[in-house]
Structure 1
């Protein structure tokens, strides 16, 4: 059984009330992304489809469908803002809707935003690998 990490930089704080991440500041993206998927799907399956990119805005929609889209985007923004720290929230405030916010996070933390982000991700992973130590019994610290 894996030993729980004591590296606070990889811990994601979870609200006991909502089950959502709180004050997330960029650490452990994969875990955060999974928790957000669960929170969004629990809120609304259609919102989850928007999050995944299966449903996208269409200019040809009726006025009521466009109004529905705006409501979904507000819900998505609220969920994202309620889970991130203030610094991250300030970066996201400039974006027009929840889909744009999620795209920003996905591009940034999946290393697809630019060459500098990819280089920093590689450097960070290499530093973690260098810091790992093997015990005589084969376990990694």
Structure 2
């Protein structure tokens, strides 16, 4: 199974794929990212939009090599070889899955500070898919 997202679903979620915009619970303060229908902490449906910094640390990661990537990433592995997919814990708390780029996979470490950008992920069905990628923070 690949990373395929059907075009209608991709189009409906484009806003959350192009901004570090989450929701904060008005009851308990939990921040959800991407936005949810209810708070993941207390199930309250009172949520307010909040802008996230797009910075965090590598919580966990894996290195994907040729033959291990979903079909959508065949071109990337052919051009670049191995790449890193990480769970990034954002400074505000939520954890998201994204690629870590612009770094040798052997240099990625748990706890490494990273900064997110909106970048091209892959192209499928004639549509370029954009989303988050992280790079080592330059602090």
> What TM-score do you get using the length of structure 1 for normalisation?
0.23
Q: Higher relative CO (CA 8 A, sep ≥ 6), structure 1 or 2?
A: 2
Q: Which of the two has higher C-alpha Rg?
A: 1
